[in-house]
A = this chain, B = another copy of it.
């Protein structure tokens, strides 16, 4: 016998978001933050993600405004840049991932860091006013924070900092919140990843759920 299941994509989204709002504790979020948190939870499959999501004051409003004004999205990994739904972007925004740039391996060797960190060096001409989306590499976030110690370095409009994993991820996100170089969103601790990061961008890109 064939399996019977919901085949209407819009109905699946609606039911998913309703389940999240019924089960997750979202009371501490502003309305602008709540829609971002709901999509991040949706991507993770975990209502237990909610208490780990933190926003700097004004992050959601400023990141959305930057996207609506045409800001590019700078991504640390192809899984992030490929996941962003182009049709949701409000201004035909550029989505940029420099990790596969042929200059990266040599640059990584020269600065004595990972390829993910070296790729951040190549963001410089795009960074002023951009939305940064880091969903994989703690070293990319740490390196960006070190570059931003220089007050002359270009400032992004907002930073989604959600690297995942066991070595450096929690520390890099704590450093982002402590340094506070631009409005930020993090998932505290080990959790994070490209899908959660993409979900935050997709939520900020369009008011349509």
Q: Give the CA-CA distance A149 to B43 in the complex, in Å.
A: 30
Interface residues of A in 16-60 (CB under 8 A from B): 16, 19-20, 42-46
Interface residues of A in 124-181 (CB under 8 A from B): 138-139, 142, 145-146, 149, 164-169, 171-172, 175
Contact B7–A191 (Cβ < 8 Å): no
Q: A62 contacts the other chain (Cβ, under 8 Å)?
A: no
Of the residues B19, B79, B117, B189, contact of A82 by C-beta under 8 Å: B79
- Consensus secondary structure, chain A interface: helix
Q: Give the CA-CA distance A14 to B103 in the complex, in Å.
A: 26
* In the complex, the 3 A-B pairs of residues with the closest C-beta atoms, listed nearest first: A45-B190, A45-B164, A7-B113
Q: Which of A66-74, A87-95, A193-201 contacts B (4 or more CB under 8 A)?
A: A193-201
- Number of A positions contacting B (CB below 8 A): 49
> How distant is A178 from chain B, measured CB to nearest CB, in Å?
10
Of the residues B2, B82, B192, contact of A78 by C-beta under 8 Å: B82
Of the residues B45, B139, B168, contact of A165 by C-beta under 8 Å: B45
Q: Give the CA-CA distance A42 to B169 in the complex, in Å.
A: 12
Q: Give the CA-CA distance A15 to B165 in the complex, in Å.
A: 11
Q: A61 contacts the other chain (Cβ, under 8 Å)?
A: no
A113 to B, closest residue via Cβ:
B7
Of the residues B82, B142, B172, B195, contact of A195 by C-beta under 8 Å: B195
* CB neighbours of A142 from chain B (8 A): 3, 5
A164 to B, closest residue via Cβ:
B45
Q: A102 contacts the other chain (Cβ, under 8 Å)?
A: no
* CB neighbours of A192 from chain B (8 A): 45
A149 to B, closest residue via Cβ:
B2
Q: Give the CA-CA distance A112 to B117 in the complex, in Å.
A: 45
Contact A6–B164 (Cβ < 8 Å): no
